[in-house]
Amino acid sequence: MHKQVNILGIETSCDETAAAVVADGNVIKSSVVASQVGLHQKYGGVVPEIASRAHIENILPVINEAMTKAGVRKNDIDAVAVANQPGLTIALMVGVTAAKTLAMVWDKPIIGVNHVHAHLQSAMIAQEDKLELPAIALVVSGGHTSLYQCKNALELTLLGSTINDAAGEAFDKVATILGLPYPGGPSIEKIAKKGNAKAVNFPRTMLGPDSLDFSFSGLKTAVLYHCCGQDMRGENRCKEMDEQELADIAASFQAAVIDVLIKKTKRAAQKTGAKTILLGGGVACNTALRDGLADMAAKIGVNLLIAPKQYCTDNGVMVASLAYYKFKAGMFGDLTMEAKAGSQ
C-alpha cells in the first residue's frame, strides 16, 4: 500500500498562528488557525511586538491541536515545514524556532517554505490535474501583490509586484481612513455591497502599457483627499460622512483595486499565452475579485483556479502542501531568513 507522506506545516509570518497536517500535498488532515485580529484591531494594523508575543503563547497549543485533530503522533510525521520568509522577522522567528526544535527532537527533516509561494500553492491543492500550462498566478495579500509565471509548485518566475502598498494593505489603510474595523478587506467588502461603485472615479494606476507591477499608494491618497481634503491641519479635519456616503466610497475604492488587479492579470495572461490563472492570498477572499477574475478568464478562454476561501488567508495547510513538493525533490533545510522584496 502507498505510504502517505505526512507533513506538519507551521505558519507565523504575520498575525495568525497556524499549523496543519497534510498528507501527500493535498489530503488535509487538520488545519488550526489562532487569529490575533482582536489584539491588533485597536491599532488598525498588525503590531509586530504584539504579534510575536501572541505567537509565543499560541504556537505549542496550535501545533498540539493540529496533531490531535489529524490523529497523528510524532512517528507519523515525515517532515516539519515552516514559512521562514518573507514576513515580520520577530513573528517568523517563533514558527522557525518551534519547527527547528521539533525537527531536532523528533529527528525529522525540516523544510523552509516561502510564504508567498505557499499562498499560490493554496490555489493548486487538490486541483493540480486542472493546471494547464503555461500558467500564471496572482497572489494578493496584506503584504504582497505579485504576479508569477508558474510551471509547478516549485518553478515560479516573478513577473511583477507592488512598488509600494500591497492590495490588502491598501484595503486596511483605507478602512482606517473610513473608520471601519481591522482587517479592512472584509469590512470594506461588507459595506461596499450597499454602495455605488461608480460614485467616485478613483485613479487606476497602470504604470505604463507593458508594466506588470502594481501601485496602490496613489489610490489610498486619493481616498484620503476625497474624505479629508488636501489640507488636514487645524480646522480642516475629515468631514462627517453618512452611511451611504461611506458605502459609496468603499465600493468605488474596491472597484478601483479590483479593476487594476484584473487588467494586470489579463495583461500577464495574454503576454505569456497562459492557459491557467491561479489566485491566492487574503484579498482573494473578496467575492467581487473572485467573480471579476472569473468573468475575465471566461472571456479570454483561460482556466481559473482559486484557493478555497478558508485557505486564502494565512494557514498551515498551504505551508505543508508546498513542502511536500520540496520533500519529494529532496529540498530540505532552506531556512534562509530573507525578508527583502526580491525574495517574493
Q: Note the residues at the interface with ligand KG4 (CB under 6 A).
A: 14, 119, 141-143, 168-169, 171-172, 183-186, 189, 281-283, 285-286, 313-314
Binding mask 124-153 for Zn ion (x = CB under 5 A): -----------------x------------
Distance between CA 190 and CA 182 in Å, rounded? 12
Q: Which does 109 bind (CB under 5 to 8 A by kind): Zn ion, ligand KG4, none?
A: none
Q: What are the DSSP calls for 124-186, one per residue? A: TTTTGGG-PSSEEEEEE-SS-EEEEEESSSS-EEEEEEBSS--HHHHHHHHHHHHTPPSSHHH
Cβ(114)–Cβ(86) below 8 Å: yes
**Residue 314 binds Zn ion, judged by CB under 5 A:** yes
Give the three cell numbers for residue 204: 487606476
- Which is closer to ligand KG4, CB of 6 or CB of 145? 145
Part in contact with Zn ion (CB under 5 A); list of ranges 188-196, 285-293, 307-315, 329-337 = 307-315
Q: Count other Cβ atoms within 10 Å, centred on residue 315.
A: 25
Residue 104 Cβ, how far from Zn ion at the closest point, in Å?
A: 27
CB of 29 to ligand KG4, least distance (A): 22
Q: Which is nearer to ligand KG4, 109 or 143 (CB)?
A: 143
**Which of Zn ion, ligand KG4, none sits in contact with 172, Cβ below 5 to 8 A by type?**
ligand KG4
Judged by beta carbon, residue 175 or residue 268, the one nearer ligand KG4 is 175
Here the contacts of 27-30 (C-beta below 8 Å, separation 24 or greater) are 28/125, 28/317, 29/69, 29/70, 29/71, 29/72, 30/65, 30/66, 30/67, 30/68, 30/69, 30/70
Residue 217: CB minimum distance to Zn ion, A: 20
**Contact partner, 168, from Zn ion, ligand KG4, none, Cβ < 5-8 Å per class:** ligand KG4
List, as own/partner pairs, every contact residues 236-245 make where C-beta atoms lie below 8 angstroms and the sequence separation is at least 24, other chains included.
Answer: 238/177, 241/178, 243/194, 244/194, 244/195
Question: Quick one: 77 or 251, whose CB is closer to ligand KG4?
Answer: 251
- For ligand KG4, the closer CB: 77 or 125: 125
Q: Which residues is 278 bridged to in the sheet?
A: 137, 305
Query: How far apart (Å, rounded) are the C-alpha atoms in residues 26 and 199?
Result: 43
| Number of other residues whose CB lies within 10 A of the CB of residue 147 | 26
Find the shortest distance in angstroms from Cβ 129 to Zn ion: 26
In whole angstroms, how close is the CB of 178 to ligand KG4 at the nearest point?
13
Toward ligand KG4, which CB reaches closer, 170 or 212? Answer: 170
Which residues here bind Zn ion, judged by CB under 5 A?
Answer: 141, 314
